[in-house]
Amino acid sequence: MPIAFTVTHRDSAARVGVLTTPHGSADTPAFMPVGTAATVKGLTPDQLAAVGARIVLGNTYHLALRPGDELVAELGGLHRFMGWGGPILTDSGGFQVFSLAGTRAVTDDGVKFKSHLDGSPLELTPERAVDIQQNLGSDIAMVLDECPPADAPEPVMRNAIRRTLVWAERCKTHHSRANQALFAIVQGGTNVGFRADCAKELVGMDFPGYALGGFSVGEAPEAMHAALPECAALLPETKPRYLMGVGRPEDLLAGVAAGIDMFDCVMPTRSGRNALAFTSDGTLKLRNAKHRRDPAPVSSDCGCYCCANFSRAYLHHLFAAEEMLGPTLLSLHNLAYYLKLMDDARSAIRTGTFAAFREACLARWNPAT
């Protein structure tokens, strides 16, 4: 098998495990920083490793457009190309079916995009999505799926599930890279019945891992939190479960409570680039004038490079002066915070105190100031 997964501790539905890949292991539940274009924006691989990242993401659609998957393969694969020696997961481009709805056309054969860069055509069939990811050489590849919006009417949702199932089978048939695991993606919105129908078919295809796609695409967070426990329980106990693209801290803890093992989102780095910091007491808007003379670190209980060396006043100055160091430092801090949150969650699960840990976190998080 290209990957191995072992659950070591349980606390109700929440669980701790170890995911082992050809490029190393990651403890779960794990947050995976997003490196869409073969880089986690503004950060070096050494910085990512220093804050505790063990597995990162790349994106099929974006890397196929630029620089091209064949070029990445020619230069030794994605790990060598981006200088990251740890595990890499690549998304299939299925989320772009949702996010780029105005520039694509979907048929049963696949998806035809107009490049967001220059309008040139890019066609993603299930087979092409697999070929791109095999050229990239990621440790975990994802099947091509259709991700509908949360408010899609029932016929649209059912058709997206049908396509997702057909495309998953085509991806599995076409996939041939022995050192790469191919994960399936369950769709169905917040309708647990739809999710159950989709999951049953995919579990029957026996993939090495399973993801829940189509969350955080317009539904209320409360609706997602309510659906997650039943949706996660549809997936095999012995295989990793991945909640795609969901990234508020409170959403991560809801996912962990439901038994999810893997998470990714651009939120910590995108927020860092926009002067928003995550802390154990809530969020901070570093552009606010109240921070202009503040000598305190972003977070007094964080040991990251940013918090150990710089003040809120300095971060406020960097953003006011539009210096690139500001987004870098705050992205670094936010990832350190997210990764520490997962580390603390794992510790709480090991000691059987996760419910109390989650409740304490939620009680401390305040609106941005």
φ/ψ bin of 309: left (φ > 0), alpha (ψ from -120 to 50), beta (otherwise): alpha
Here the tokens at position 247 are 């990234």
Amino acid at 104: R
φ, ψ of residue 251 to 5 degrees: the values are: -70, -40
The active-site residue out of 91, 139, 145, 251 is 91
> Of 273, 256, 291, 220, which is closest to residue 362 (Cα–Cα)?
256
**Known active-site residue 264:** yes
Q: Tell me how far apart the alpha carbons of residues 254 and 236 are, in angstroms, rounded to a whole number.
A: 19
Residues 6+ apart with CB under 8 A from 314: none
Q: Is 281 a catalytic residue?
A: no
Q: What gap in Å lies between CA 46 and CA 41, rounded to an integer? A: 13
**Are the CB atoms for 349 and 289 separated by under 8 Å?**
no
| Residue whose C-alpha is closest to residue 334's, from 283, 263, 258 | 283
Residues forming a β-bridge with 27? 18
E strands, the chain, in order: 4-11, 14-21, 24-28, 30-32, 56-59, 88-91, 104-106, 111-114, 121-124, 140-142, 181-186, 210-212, 241-243, 262-264, 276-279, 282-285
Q: How many CA atoms lie within 13 A of 185 on its CB side?
A: 33
Q: Which of 131, 139, 261, 264 is catalytic?
A: 264
Contact (Cβ atoms closer than 8 angstroms) between residue 314 and residue 307: no
Positions marked catalytic? 91, 264
